[in-house]
Amino acid sequence: YYVSKLMPLMAEAQMNVVANPLINITLQARHDSYPKRRGMTRVKELMETGINVAFGHDCVMDPWYSLGSHDMLEVAGMGLHVGQMTGVEQIQGCFDAVTKNAAATMQLDGYGIAPGNNADLVILDCKSAIDAIRLRPARLKVIRHGKVIAETQKAHPVVSINGDSREIDFVPASMKAPVK
């Protein structure tokens, strides 16, 4: 009951919320007996109320979460799983939570792709936000202030079955560009 009154007030006040799915799901309720509570706030409901929700990742190779990698696509994936947000729009919302929503929370100037902005971006080896989270693709280029500061070569996975080898990519045929 209380939260149903609180969330509209948070939206009206234009508050931002940051959830940390990886560490929250690991630490919160870890001493519960069964059934265990989920260790993350009501992300889906907050988003549905119109509140700007971002995902963060605060524990990296420390005593609280030694598996942390600063991989925000991993964070988005955990957030959507823990929040049971597997609808197309919800997955996009989780991608936004580690990109534009996070930038809005931090009030970053010059964020996004537009003339006059910083030209800070990451080029992923995929075609959609869903595949970015699903496949955790290579970051082909990391660009800061218009200059490439890191690169990864495109992966070429190959599977061999009965002597027949072929490259695979796990991208549905309906999303592939036609072969010319």
Are both 148 and 169 inside the same structural domain?
yes
Q: CA 171, CA 173: separation in Å to the nearest integer? A: 6
Residue 180 has pLDDT above 80, yes or no: no
**Which pLDDT score, from 0 to 100, does residue 178 have?**
57
Residue 175 has pLDDT above 70, yes or no: no
**46 class by beta-carbon count within 10 Å (0-12 exposed, 13-18 middle, 19+ buried):** buried
Per the structure, the count of domains in the chain is 2
Higher pLDDT, 143 or 60: 143
Tell me the β-bridge partners of 159.
166
Q: CA 58, CA 8: separation in Å to the nearest integer? A: 27
- For the whole model, what pTM was predicted? 0.85
Residue 163 has pLDDT above 80, yes or no: yes
Range of the domain at 174: 110-180
Residue 173 has pLDDT above 80, yes or no: no
Domain end position, chosen among 77, 108, 139: 108
